[in-house]
Structure 1
Amino acid sequence: MSDTPPDRLATDERSPFHDAAVLARGIGIRFNGEEKKNVEEYCVSEGWVRLPFGKTLDRRGNPMTVKVKGTVEPYFLDTAS
């Protein structure tokens, strides 16, 4: 496995950008210089993250999200083994 995180990653299993192996390894996100723990999806090349919007849920029970633009810096929480 590479030491660079993917360009785009989502926590939702239904997304084509979901990768269980990468998520199991652990991903940290630094957004605009601030550590974020609640990122649902990110894209480095386009410069955005999806964050939950309060405690509101959509009609399927998934958290409502808002797309925020800025500088995205993903990193692995541990080293490759």
Structure 2
Amino acid sequence: MNDATTFPPLPDHLSVDPRSPHHVAAVFEHDIGIRFNDKERSDVEEYCISERWIKVPAGKALDRKGQPLMIRLKGKVEAFYK
């Protein structure tokens, strides 16, 4: 396993979408985990720790551009490296 000092710091607000201003490519070079309300989630597309929310896909529904529709869930958010 890599030494924890080689990981870039996890931002407060992070998005998986490379078109987003909150996308940090250096962070995605490592495995990231998100714990939401003390349960690990693997379907998180975007999170904000300080505002306490995550965005996840709303089933199979797509918007008019073919992107998945997102819903925002509020609760306790923790991000960590696996």
Check conservation: 2:8, 2:26, Cα contact below 8 A: no
Q: Is residue 55 from structure 1 mapped to residue 60 from structure 2 by the alignment?
A: yes
Q: Say which SS state the counterpart of residue 28 (structure 2) adopts.
A: helix
**1:5, CA displacement in angstroms?**
1.6
CA–CA distance in 1 between the matches of 2:79 and 2:30? 13
Question: 2:3 matched to which residue of 1?
Answer: none
**1:24, CA displacement in angstroms?**
1.8
Greater CA deviation, 7-16 or 18-27?
A: 18-27
CA–CA distance in 2 between the matches of 1:68 and 1:18? 19
TM-score under structure 2 length normalisation: 0.87
Question: 1:15 matched to which residue of 2?
Answer: 20
**1:2, CA displacement in angstroms?**
5.1
Q: Say which SS state the counterpart of residue 12 (structure 1) adopts.
A: coil
Which of 1 and 2 has higher RCO (CA within 8 Å, sep 6+)?
Answer: 1
| % identical equivalent positions | 49
Question: 2:40 matched to which residue of 1?
Answer: 35
**1:16, CA displacement in angstroms?**
0.3
Question: 1:67 matched to which residue of 2?
Answer: 72
Where does the alignment leave 5 or more consecutive residues of structure 1 unmatched? none
Where does the alignment leave 5 or more consecutive residues of structure 2 unmatched? 1-5
CA RMSD of aligned residues (A): 1.3
Cα deviation code 1:5-30 (max 9, x no counterpart): 21110001111000111012121000
